[in-house]
Amino acid sequence: DTAVSQTPKYLVTQMGNDKSIKCEQNLGHDTMYWYKQDSKKFLKIMFSYNNKELIINETVPNRFSPKSPDKAHLNLHINSLELGDSAVYFCASSRQGDEKLFFGSGTQLSVL
């Protein structure tokens, strides 16, 4: 059983489209995150949710909106996609009070 699963694995789309990436964790963790990894492999946090409540919101364009329907899921919706949004997006989770992050396998987003 995959601990942190993301779908889709690959996403190719045109500029201006709206797309969503889904993330689910079956570890019973309370905190979930979205990280962006650019073409140079730099990993940067975007958002963090704890028990469905937003607790970290880094400087990310308003076109990115996370949604947490329950504490096992954290989806990422992106409006009006731009070329610069092309990257690998990683979902991660952690137990409350524990710094260890468990990452999903990533979603490779390519905006054409």
Partner 1 sequence: QQQVKQSPQSLIVQKGGIPIINCAYENTAFDYFPWYQQFPGKGPALLIAIRPDVSEKKEGRFTISFNKSAKQFSLHIMDSQPGDSATYFCAASIEAGTALIFGKGTTLSVSS
Q: Which amino acid, 70?
A: D
* CB-based burial label for 6 (10 Å; 0-12, 13-18, 19+): buried
Lateral strand order in the sheet of 64-70: 4-7, 19-25, 73-78, 64-70
- Which residues have C-beta within 8 Å of that of residue 42, sequence separation ≥ 6? none
Interaction pattern, residues 18-37, with partner 1; x per rule: CB under 8 A: -------------x------
Interaction pattern, residues 65-94, with partner 1; x per rule: CB under 8 A: -------------------------x-x-x
Stretch that binds partner 1, among 20-28, 62-70, 72-80, 96-104 (CB under 8 A): 96-104
What is the binding site for partner 1 (CB under 8 A)? Answer: 4, 31, 40-45, 48, 50, 55-56, 58, 90, 92, 94, 96-101, 103-106
